[in-house]
Amino acid sequence: MKKISILACVFFALSSNAQTKRPDNWFNLDPTNDKINGVSTERTYSELLKGKKSTTIIVGVLDSGVDYTHEDLKDIMWTNPGEIAGNGIDDDKNGYIDDIHGWNFMGSKDGKNVEKDNLELTRVYKTLKTKYDGKSEKDINSKADKKEFKYWQVVKADYDKELAQAEAQSNQYKFIKEAISGVVDKIKKDKGITKVSLEDLKAFDAKDQKDKQGKMIAVAQGNAGMDVEELLSQLDEAIGAMDGSRLDINYDTRSIVGDNYNDMTERYYGNGDCKGPGAFHGTHVAGIIAASRHNGIGIDGIADNVKIMSVRCVPDGDERDKDIANAIRYAVDNGAVILNMSFGKKYSPGKKEVDEAVKYAESKGVLIIHAAGNASDDIDEIVHYPCKKYENGKNAPNFVDIGALSWHAEDEIAAPFSNYGKKTVDFFAPGVDIHSTVPDLNQYKDASGTSMAAPVVAGVAAVLKSYYPFLTPKQIIKILTKSSLKNYKDKKVIKPGSKDEMIEFGELSKTGGIVNLYEAVKMAEELAPKK
């Protein structure tokens, strides 16, 4: 989901009507006092938690890596108390050498790291293609093979569709970038300048159709607060994410790791580089949860007494089930009580192993917050993995799925890219234009996706667990469910993925609610033991 969220962000920016730029900290603001659907972080601290004591808790960020040197994150990173940095010894005897701020399941013992990988669809397609490509049903004999052959036909159709869509989307982004770049280059040449402003764009006399389209998009995003160079940078990133590796059956970086990938019981592989390459996504997620509050720089995360543990397991492409299962177990075994999992995919060959890891987390009292996904899908019907439903049909009681909320007009309150599901998605939280930490040079940028909504909820849950440590995962989920704001439950909104189809907001999730820290803390206080 790492790159999917970036693509969703770009697509959303280019296809929506640009509106007035929202406050950078909108996800922390209050619906009543600030007239924006944040989770009321600042109001909660000033009115309900002032003077209260809290307990430091560990939140595991299972993601692409976290820049633990970032100015707004370095003070809130978990540091393994039993490990001595850089000595090449497993000091705490947990099976992982030099795991100072977490662990990397996508690296080798000699320090090499996986950055890009296939989609799981590609890996499944490749495996089945070897067996069934060119065959028809009459060529298949056994009942088991006939069943698998039918599955192969579904996978092949999905792969062919994905390949065509990827090519079309890549061409779309390339055209848009060329159109905007053409306008920018002409303005620079005509005016003899090196940086193009919004005023320059508005004044540009576009004559041909391509220039008109480039100007229209650049001006629209400029009105929304996005600099044209930043827009071009995001388009470059989106185009780079569609370089073909995700769908190339001959592309394989797993050999870097050096594990026996087919051995799903193998746990002790990887390295201690829990930042790794491509740490944008995980760093952004970590900042939303707990970027240092009131240090006078950058942003304020939601939780004020949290340590972030980085477990690197999500590449540019689809995560591998073996890595996810091990990442969950590593985080749980090393003290994390909340896990943020902002990733997902449509296929899961190792679902059994992931399910067992989720059950292990449940047995240790660990809450899992999962992003619902960015495909505008009804995930009651189209399953995205990992999911809370086990193979026996029961739901994991420590697992919630989060949809993305927009700050835009009320009829667009559900982000157009967000997955939804009356039975599967638990509630919505801010997930559009979220300003947070990004790696290298202490930077901050906006990003959109359910990947951003999940850490908002993880931050809220972390506050509850920190100030009310007696709460169990089930109790926290119950509080988040009951306290979520239902103001929009009966309101007609644009259905994600549609142009103008209207649906009641309450039909998009189990609760029809929007997570709110202020109301959640009030409810937690009622459950607190009386002195």
Residue whose token pair is 């340590």: 307
Residue type for position 345: K
> Picking from 67-71, 409-413, 438-442, which range would have the lowest pLDDT averaged per residue?
409-413
Q: Are strands 102-104 and 367-371 parallel, antiparallel or unpaired?
A: unpaired
Query: Within 13 Å of residue 200, how many CA atoms lie on the same side as its CB?
Result: 18
Cβ-based neighbours of 507, under 8 Å, separated by 6 or more: 422
Residue 314 near residue 276, CB atoms below 8 Å: no
Classified as helix, coil or strand, 236 is: helix
Residue 318 near residue 120, CB atoms below 8 Å: yes
- What are the pLDDT digits (tens) for 30-63? 999 999 999 999 999 999 999 999 999 999 999 9
Please give the residue that has the higher pLDDT: either 40 or 531.
40
d(CA 241, CA 3) in angstroms, rounded, equals 6
Average pLDDT over residues 502-529: 96
Cβ-based neighbours of 80, under 8 Å, separated by 6 or more: 92, 99, 100, 101, 334
> For all residues of the chain together, what is the average pLDDT?
93
pLDDT the model gives residue 530? 78
pLDDT the model gives residue 531? 67
280-290 and 2-15 helices cross at what angle (nearest 10)? 80
Instruction: Calculate the alpha carbon distances from 18 to 111, 188, 239 in Å.
Output: 44, 24, 22
> Picking from 91-100, 213-222, 499-508, which range would have the lowest pLDDT averaged per residue?
213-222
Domain residue spans of the chain? 25-117+266-527, 121-241
d(CA 400, CA 367) in angstroms, rounded, equals 8
d(CA 459, CA 464) in angstroms, rounded, equals 9
Residue 421 near residue 380, CB atoms below 8 Å: yes
Query: Does residue 15 register a pLDDT over 60?
Result: no
CB atoms within 10 A of CB 346: 19
d(CA 484, CA 448) in angstroms, rounded, equals 21
pLDDT the model gives residue 11? 52
CATH superfamily of 25-117+266-527: Peptidase S8/S53 domain (3.40.50.200)
% of the chain with per-residue pLDDT over 70? 96
Report how many helices (DSSP H) and strands (DSSP E) the chain contains, helices first: 13, 11
Contacts of 220-225 spanning 24+ positions with Cβ under 8 A: 220/17, 220/18, 221/13, 221/14, 221/18, 222/18, 222/198, 223/18, 223/19, 223/20, 223/198, 224/13, 224/18, 224/19, 224/20, 224/21, 225/21
- What are the pLDDT digits (tens) for 313-364? 999 999 999 999 999 999 999 999 999 999 999 999 999 999 999 999 999 9
- What are the pLDDT digits (tens) for 446-501? 999 999 999 999 999 999 999 999 999 999 999 999 999 999 999 999 999 998 89
Q: Dump the DSSP string for 256-292.
A: GT-S-TT-TT----SBS-SS-S--HHHHHHHHHHHPP
pLDDT the model gives residue 5? 44
The token pair that represents 296 in the structure block: 């006078």
